[in-house]
Amino acid sequence: MNIYLDLFLTFAKVGVCTFGGGYAMLPILQREVVEKKGWATDEELTDYYAIGQCTPGVIAVNTATFIGHKYKGIPGGILATLGLVFPSIVMITVIAAFLKNFADSPYVIHAFNGVRACVCVLIFNAVVKLQKSSVIDTPAAILFFVTFLLSAIWGISPAVIVLAAGVIGLVLKLIAEKRGDKA
């Protein structure tokens, strides 16, 4: 299959199979891009998530753009992004045309409640997978805990936290190099 078509269809599959926004797409992106296609490693995908969180836009869209660009340059980034958002554009257009008529239906309300609960589980699973591949030593565990507190308790902006964590990681690397460690 043409690689560009494969990029578009793979990300369209992620887009059509995911409800709940960017974070809910993360486990499906991981399965499709890392496990099935081999277009990125777990570590690269984690880096893309972090960068995607810091840049304007939706994290899943940013991540798709990064992966497509890494794999096939600018055309790959464009096609991966279009593939991811295309199903949503179609579904939102259709739903918007009819939702006004059904929004107050108890069936629709209960269906949305069920979808929201499911999305919470998908996001939690993505966090657990990311945590396992990212918290690899004591400094990372401390940074994870501090980041959690800053975000969950004090509501600090995720962009600020990710940038600060990047600086801290760089400083830790420089300190390790100065001591002669291979970290």
What pLDDT sits at residue 139?
83
The CA distance from 123 to 20, in Å, is: 9
The CA distance from 174 to 126, in Å, is: 30
Smallest Cα–Cα separation from 29: which of 118, 134, 17, 1? 17
pTM here is 0.62
What pLDDT sits at residue 103?
76
The CA distance from 137 to 134, in Å, is: 9
Tell me the per-residue pLDDT of 130-158, one tens digit each, with 9 for 90 and over.
Answer: 787 778 888 888 888 888 888 888 888 87
Return the higher-pLDDT residue of 19 and 157: 157
Contact (CB, 8 A) for 158 and 71: no
Tell me the per-residue pLDDT of 44-75, one tens digit each, with 9 for 90 and over.
Answer: 888 888 888 777 778 888 889 999 999 899 99
